[in-house]
Amino acid sequence: EVQLLESGGRLIQPGGSLRLSCVGSGFTFRKYVMSWVRQAPGKALEWVAGISDSGHDTYYAASVQGRFTISRDNAKNTLYLQMNSLRGEDTAIYFCAKEDLPVAPSTIGLGFDYWGQGTLVTVSS
Amino acid sequence: DIQMTQSPSSVSASVGDRVTITCRASQGISGWLAWYQQKPGKAPKSLIYAASTLQSGVPSRFSGSGSETNFSLTISSLQSEDFATYYCQQTLTYPRTFGGGTKVVIK
């Protein structure tokens, strides 16, 4: 059974830093593209960042470019999101998600077939 | 970036109704579109990928169609468990943008 388990979310002051983790199990983690998606309270889904299976290629939403860093440790089956210079508008539930590709390597995907349960990040003084 | 626009933002329907949600991309994305269902307090669930391919285990009352800039998700006969919010997402390129969501509520 595929499982994704996020952790690391908490209350943090504006300007602070936080690292989220997502551990994958039940699939060959190193073979899949991964992403972080967030959802502010009562709002729509927002894609945040993505990373290739090897970790060599990373992609970011404009809203987090330069502040957030996505990375992965395939030996530990773990995806990370380092979040710096946090702002109130970063308050959200953060989900990690797994994506399959029709052909690799490619930036074309088949959507997120599995999601974690999410971890809540609250940025407030 | 590719913008995704869903309509309507909310639809009121009864059990047994046929419901159609539309999604428009700001530029052509071929058939690279996914649909998700999200219930309150839960993670999204994948329904459809590549515009019309059902994920394993998704009931056949769900169907997707479209290409390039115009897409739709249809629920042929709405069931009680289908009341939720639905999102489209383009999967052609990064950033992987989502639509604003369509909430299906009980009439």
pLDDT digits (tens, 9 = 90+) for B7-63: 999 999 999 999 999 999 999 999 999 999 999 999 999 999 999 999 999 999 999
A117 has a chain B CB within 8 A of its CB = yes
Is A111 in contact with B91 (Cβ distance < 8 A)? yes
3-state secondary structure A62-101: CCCCCCEEEEEECCCCEEEEEECCCCHHHCEEEEEEEECC
pLDDT tens-digit readout, A101-117 = 888 778 899 999 999 99
Q: Choose, out of A1, A38, A58, A112, the residue to mutate when testing the contact with B (most B CBs < 10 Å).
A: A112
**What is the nearest CA distance from A41 to chain B, expressed in angstroms?**
10
Sign, CA dihedral B59-B65-B67-B69, equals negative
What pLDDT, on the 0 to 100 scale, is given for residue A10? 98
pLDDT tens-digit readout, A47-83 = 999 999 999 999 999 999 999 999 999 999 999 999 9
Contacts of A57 in chain B (CB under 8 A): none
Is B43 in contact with A102 (Cβ distance < 8 A)? no
Cβ proximity of B76 and B61 under 8 Å: yes
Give CA torsion, residues A29, A33, A38, A43, to 10 deg. Answer: -130
Closest A-chain CA to B90 = A111
